[in-house]
Amino acid sequence: MSILSIRNLKVDYATQDGTVQAVDGVSLDVAEGQHLGLIGESGCGKTTLLKAIVQVLPRNGRIVGGEIIFKGADLLKMSRAEMRQLRWREIATIPQASMDSLNPVQRVGKQLTKLLRVRGGYDKRSAKRRAVDLFDLVGLDSERLSHYPHEFSGGMKQRAVIAMALALEPSLLIADEPVTALDVIVQHQILEVLRRLEEELNLTVMLITHDISVVAQVCDSVAVMYAGRIVEQAAAEPFFASPAHPYSLGLQQAFPNLARPRDELVSIEGYPPDLREPPTGCRFAERCPFVQDACHSDDPQLQQVGVGRYAACLRSGEMDALRQQAEDPALWQRVEVAQNSPPTLNPSPKMREGLFLPPVEEPASHAPLASSCRKELGDEGEKPLLELRDVSKRFKVGGGLAGLLRGDKEQTVYAVNNISFRLRRGESLGLAGESGCGKSTTGKLLVKLLDASDGEIDFDGQDLMTMDGENLLGFRRRAQLMFQNPFEALNPRFTLYRSLTEPLIIHGWTDDDERLERVVETLDRVNLRPAEVFLDKYPHQLSGGQLQRVVLARALVLQPDFLVADEPVSMLDVSVRAGILNTTRRLASELGLATVYISHDLSLLQYTCDRIAIMYLGEIVEIGPSQQIISNPQHPYTQALIAAVPVPDPTIENPPLRIREGVPRPTEQFIGCPFSQRCPEAMQACLDIRPPQVRDEDGRITLCHLYGEHSASPKLTSDTPIQVG
Amino acid sequence: MQQEAMVRGELRGKEKVQFRQGSALRQLWEANLEVFQRDKLALLGLFIFVFFTLVAVFAPVIAPNDPLTPQKNANGDWIKDAEPFWMAEPGEDEAEGYVNNFLLGTTNIGRDIFSQLVYGSRAALLVGFSAAIAVAVIGTVVGLLAGYYGGRIDTLLMRAADVAFGIPFIPFIIVISAFFDPSIWNVVLAMAALLWRDSSRVIRSQVLVIKEQSFVSAAKVSGASELRIIFVYIAPSILPLSFLYGTLAIAWAILTEASVSFLGFSDPETISWGYMLQDAFNSLALSREAYYWIVPPGLCIMLTVMAGFFIGRGYEEVLFPRLRRM
């Protein structure tokens, strides 16, 4: 029996440029006890659907049709007061970025008991008891009730928010991206909490996310949304085993998967249609590799395609064959074109045609990543391009006049601590770790945006510290950086042409024609074609994926030898991530570029890197070839990180984690191992003696006592379950 | 593919021309043009400025009489408090022995009000523009240096701004007027000495935001020098703020000059709209309901001040592409 049933729901947003049909005829049933995952890329109407259910649409949003039946009553016919009674008590929501929704000037326990007393009718004492129970339920120490939100870590806040959502025992919980901004370990633990709650409380959950691996881990059924419609609905296992809609196929293959590494990821090129004037045919037709003529004219309806499976595709009958073809990333490959905004060069009809070119083949098989980069550290024959020896970076915080007045002592933050590694030409290295582990600082040190406090960084035999004048300019030509947020990485006041020529001008290219040629060539390389269309656009006219390609182009325009990519795709939609990664990886191997990828996402690093270095509190705790690190991690921290990555496959369940969440602030230098506080394997020696660098036959170096001479030291921790806080 | 090549070949010729001309100056010109194409109020503001500038430049041609010399009738007496010819009763002027051709009448000592109004635009625009330039330039440079370099330079400049904030404005001008001869330059000097405080603060904070954005790091990584970063990357982004504070300063300066003149600390030899108001006030024009004397200078002050705000607003909208609706 379904607890929530949505029938043909339509939601419009009135905007200055017309009416956007954000949700267009969605029908959906959620059964009691069901855990439904709603997935899709941003802007496809997921959040609007949620807001429509609890009727908290923004002012310009309007429900124009359909019904929402909750437990037999139509929510749309309810008065405001009735609806108010329903929210939280019957339908609880965890909105996006809800961690920030805690009141910063009130103790968390107070906020919880207030809710219980005002909305739940508890008296003072029972509210307190209930609050303790709730904290217990989400794995928080009840002492934490008397703390303020700023004393909580991100994961703890999220737990507290979940506790609040569950406080009044709702029958339906709707969570909007509950783990999106969290570190992988915290994410894992929150998902575990959700999973446990589903079982213990028999909750009905609707989980909205763009991350299909999250859905695989906590949901038993899946609905895929695209351009305001549900395009597929199925139980989780068959869905992940054999998706029945091309869009789901693409999404699934766009995700790097630690368990099943792929040579090339699929990228769904293009953008969702403009919902002010939705296309008459299938909405996915523009981006679909299996598109036929009929798709542009006939609008497919959601039809049953199997037991409990629905899909909206004209070719759903041939899905088995299509699924086979979809394995080939080249099929999905298209050229990035400037769609939404017409080119400003007064395009001739011919050029307009040029906008919709047939797919240009991107060489999909780049398999032989220059053989040199597969060589390992042990091989000392070749001179490294980059060598770090005992590099440290310290920051001073809290000092100065203001600190003196507040009584704050000056503290030293050890952001990077004695790291050493080498990078060969053409090799790619991944830096991974939780936020606050010093990976971004390392990236800045590598391109001399910051200077190291100690140690040496040699770039092609020259010390970065002493570099100046001509040498420095030479280094600036050869080392480039790619940024996390493409929306900030380009000067909003420059046309793309200007942005891309700037580096050339700085490096003394005086000839206009040569510059233009190089810029066009580079844009072409990063698959922005026809390049000319992009030249006089401003950054705000492009989509995130296109922008990130421009950022890559700017990094490559000087034809550098070395590229640092700091979280290159974390701000982008899943569907375009793979495209950027593929292009970056292909170009790096074509141009013989040494690359350092910085990311918290190990599956991404496994996909792009020859070697991976795991950082913790400013130290590299393990470094070695990607495959070995992923398949056989040695350091307990690496093991935890890998175990925490959700796998987009419901048949593989993540093992429970044995480490605490939250990275301590690196304000002290440890005598022993920095990880000893959180390590499940911690031994006496870990507290007192610096861990040794243990090197194995693969060339992997692990910084851990488990593999050194003190491996027999007595163990510290007992195996009590971990409680946070 | 063939088609693509064709398309591109055709394009290349076209767009080369286009980008040759894409110099910084041209961009600035186009941006300026855009301000007035998009925003009709800004265009109105510009018209007002252009109008008053023309009036100021051609004042001797436009003004029928000298603004300071009392007009005399046939007997050699001052033509006091003549009403504008379109208000005066017919025949009155002939009885008094003169021909009433005064568009806005005369003052209590027989000066031609219309001529004063025309000459007054000179003072207003002189004060307005020089103060605006001083405020925009000083504020921008101070803000850029303090924001970009930080540390000691920042502390030094911002404490100086604190001092400037501590000095009350009008009394400061009065003190200056006491030291120097009364002149409209006192107002310009005082504005330049004090009013950079607001613009530099705001610009500094904006610089702090911009310099942390990754496009600035990107410039650094590709080898741009500090000067290039400041002037090519950061300065254009804060230029609209400079313009904004500049146009506001025009308004402020004209208002201040009027206030100072009204308080009687201005040069009696220079006619300004504020001086005219003071003159009218002192000679009890209000009680005589001589609105022809009071309203025109008031209206002129209002118009120029408004024009400043209109243009400032237009700049704000156009020079921040992100604020634009797409």
pLDDT single digits (tens) A610-634: 999 999 988 999 999 998 899 899 9
Same domain? For B44 and B125 the reply is yes
Q: Tell me, what's the pLDDT at A67? A: 92
Same domain? For B215 and B134 the reply is yes
Give me A671's structure tokens. 């005598």
- Three-state secondary structure along A337-387? CCCCCCCCCCCCHHHHHHHCCCCCCCCCCCCCCCHHHHCCCCCCCCCCCEE
Same domain? For B141 and B100 the reply is no
* CB burial of residue A602 (10 Å; 0-12, 13-18, 19+): buried
Same domain? For B128 and B191 the reply is yes
Q: Find the CB nearest A530 among B7, B223, B322.
A: B7
In which domain, by residue range, is B163 found? Answer: 31-61+117-323
CA angle at A384 for the pair A612 and B216, rounded to the nearest 5°? 70
Domains held by chain B: number: 2
Q: Find the CB nearest A488 among B16, B18, B214.
A: B214
d(CA A593, CA A381): 19
Residues of B engaging A, defined by a Cβ cutoff of 8 Å: 1, 3-4, 6-8, 10-12, 14-16, 18-20, 22, 213-215, 217-224, 228, 232-233, 236-237, 319, 321-322, 324-326
ipTM of the predicted structure? 0.75
Contacts 24+ apart (CB under 8 A), B143-146: B143/B199, B143/B200, B143/B201, B143/B202, B143/B203, B143/B204, B143/B206, B143/B207, B143/B238, B144/B203, B144/B204, B144/B207, B144/B230, B144/B234, B144/B235, B144/B238, B146/B200, B146/B204, B146/B207
Q: Do the Cβ atoms of A459 and A384 come closer than 8 Å?
A: no
Interface probe for B, chosen from A351, A493, A517 (most Cβ of B below 10 Å), is A493
Question: A73 pairs with which residues across the strands?
Answer: A70
B282: closest CA among B96, B47, B109?
Answer: B109
Shortest distance, CA B221 to any CA of chain A (angstroms): 6
In order of start, what are the domains of chain A with their CATH numbers? 2-106+171-238 (3.40.50.300), 627-707 (no CATH)
- Provide the residue type at A362 as one letter: E
**Which strand ranges, in their side-by-side order, compose the sheet holding A73-74?**
A18-31, A2-15, A61-70, A73-74
Instruction: Indicate left, alpha or beta for B208 from its phi (over 0: left) and psi (-120 to 50: alpha).
Output: alpha
Residue B9 located in a structural domain? no
CB-CB under 8 Å, B221 with A476: yes
* CB burial of residue A80 (10 Å; 0-12, 13-18, 19+): exposed
Backbone angles phi, psi at A420, to 5 degrees: -140, 135
Shortest distance, CA A374 to any CA of chain B (angstroms): 28
Beta strands A61-70 and A73-74 are antiparallel
Q: Name the least confident of A14-23, A412-421, B238-247.
A: B238-247
Q: Find the CB nearest A532 among B8, B221, B319.
A: B8
C-alpha distances (whole Å) from B37 to each of A60, B33, B42, B49 are 30, 6, 9, 16
Helices and strands (H, E) in chain B, number of each type? 15, 0
Which chain A residue shows the shortest CA-CA distance from B28?
A493
Q: Is the pLDDT of residue A340 over 60?
A: no
CB-CB under 8 Å, A512 with B20: yes
**Domain end (from B80, B110, B140):** B110
CB-CB under 8 Å, A540 with B322: yes
d(CA B74, CA A138): 102
Cα A456 to the center of its chain, rounded Å: 33
Shortest distance, CA A714 to any CA of chain B (angstroms): 48
CB contact set of A195 (below 8 Å; sequence gap of 6+):
A217, A218
Q: Do the Cβ atoms of A673 and A704 come closer than 8 Å?
A: yes
Same domain? For B208 and B96 the reply is no
Q: Is the pLDDT of residue A116 over 90?
A: yes
CB contact set of A371 (below 8 Å; sequence gap of 6+):
none
**3-state class (DSSP) for residue A682:** coil
Q: Do the Cβ atoms of A282 and A313 come closer than 8 Å?
A: yes
Same domain? For B150 and B283 the reply is yes
Residue B10 located in a structural domain? no
CB-CB under 8 Å, B215 with A351: no
Give the model confidence (pLDDT) of A231-290 as tens digits. Answer: 999 999 989 888 889 898 888 888 877 777 767 778 887 778 888 888 888 888 888 888
Interface probe for B, chosen from A345, A502, A523 (most Cβ of B below 10 Å), is A502
Q: Tell me, what's the pLDDT at A435? A: 82
Shortest distance, CA A570 to any CA of chain B (angstroms): 15
CB-CB under 8 Å, B222 with A530: no
A47's enclosing H/E stretch is helix A46-54
Q: Do the Cβ atoms of B126 and B183 come closer than 8 Å?
A: no
d(CA B199, CA B205): 10
d(CA A222, CA B147): 51
CB-CB under 8 Å, A480 with B15: no
Residue B5 located in a structural domain? no
Same domain? For B123 and B231 the reply is yes
Same domain? For B272 and B161 the reply is yes
Most confident of the following: A371-375, A721-725, B68-72: B68-72
Residue B16 located in a structural domain? no
d(CA A347, CA A721): 66
Q: Tell me, what's the pLDDT at B82? A: 77
Mean pLDDT of the A23-41 span: 90
d(CA B37, CA A568): 39
Interface probe for A, chosen from B1, B3, B4, B11 (most Cβ of A below 10 Å), is B11
d(CA B31, CA A533): 21
Same domain? For B49 and B76 the reply is no
Contacts of B321 in chain A (CB under 8 A): 492-493, 538, 540
d(CA A454, CA A440): 17
Same domain? For B140 and B253 the reply is yes
CB-CB under 8 Å, B213 with A488: yes
A481: closest CA among A520, A508, A442?
Answer: A442
CB-CB under 8 Å, B214 with A502: no
Question: A37 pairs with which residues across the strands?
Answer: A207, A222
Q: Do the Cβ atoms of B297 and B276 come closer than 8 Å?
A: yes
Backbone angles phi, psi at B210, to 5 degrees: -65, -40
Percentage of chain A modeled with pLDDT above 70: 90
Confidence class of residue A429 from pLDDT cuts 50, 70 and 90? very high
Q: Is the pLDDT of residue A401 over 80?
A: no
Which 8-state DSSP code applies to residue A77? G
Contacts of B241 in chain A (CB under 8 A): none
Give me A513's structure tokens. 């024609």
Interface probe for B, chosen from A335, A396, A490, A491 (most Cβ of B below 10 Å), is A491
CB-CB under 8 Å, B22 with A532: no
Shortest distance, CA A511 to any CA of chain B (angstroms): 11
E runs forming strands in A573-706: 594-598, 611-616, 619-625, 693-695, 701-703
Same domain? For B196 and B155 the reply is yes
| Comparison of pLDDT for A420 and A468, the residue scoring more | A420
Which position has the token pair 């006939």? A298
Residue B312: CATH number of its domain: 1.10.3720.10
Which chain B residue shows the shortest CA-CA distance from A505?
B224
Q: Do the Cβ atoms of A49 and A21 come closer than 8 Å?
A: no
Shortest distance, CA B149 to any CA of chain A (angstroms): 15
Shortest distance, CA A319 to any CA of chain B (angstroms): 31
Give the model confidence (pLDDT) of A517-548 as tens digits. Answer: 999 999 988 888 788 888 888 888 888 888 99
d(CA B148, CA B157): 12
Residue B22 located in a structural domain? no
Contacts of B211 in chain A (CB under 8 A): none
**Which strand ranges, in their side-by-side order, compose the sheet holding A386-397?**
A411-423, A386-397, A454-459, A462-463
Give me B320's structure tokens. 């921040």
CB-CB under 8 Å, A532 with B19: no
pTM above 0.90, yes or no: no
d(CA A539, CA B214): 14
Q: Name the least confident of A8-22, A141-155, A362-376, A679-693.
A: A362-376
Instruction: Indicate left, alpha or beta for A619 from its phi (over 0: left) and psi (-120 to 50: alpha).
Output: beta
Residue B203 located in a structural domain? yes
Per-position pLDDT tens, chain B of length 326? 344 443 344 444 444 434 444 455 666 676 677 777 777 888 898 899 899 999 999 988 888 888 888 887 777 788 777 777 777 777 777 777 777 777 888 888 888 889 889 998 888 888 888 888 888 899 999 999 999 998 889 999 999 999 999 999 888 888 888 888 878 788 888 888 888 898 899 899 989 988 888 889 889 888 888 888 988 888 877 877 787 788 778 878 888 888 888 887 877 788 888 888 888 888 887 787 788 888 998 899 889 888 888 887 777 666 555 544 43
Give the model confidence (pLDDT) of A463-497 as tens digits. Answer: 988 888 888 999 999 999 998 888 888 888 788 88
Which chain B residue shows the shortest CA-CA distance from A511?
B20
Residue B180 located in a structural domain? yes
Confidence class of residue A598 from pLDDT cuts 50, 70 and 90? very high
B18's enclosing H/E stretch is helix B2-20
Contacts of B235 in chain A (CB under 8 A): none
Q: Is the pLDDT of residue A66 over 70?
A: yes
Q: Tell me, what's the pLDDT at B28? A: 63
Residue B90 located in a structural domain? yes
A to B CB pairs, distance under 8 Å: 113
CB-CB under 8 Å, A554 with B19: no
A627: closest CA among A597, A602, A598?
Answer: A602
d(CA B314, CA B316): 5
Q: Find the CB nearest A490 among B1, B11, B215.
A: B215
CB-CB under 8 Å, B19 with A497: yes
Same domain? For B79 and B39 the reply is no
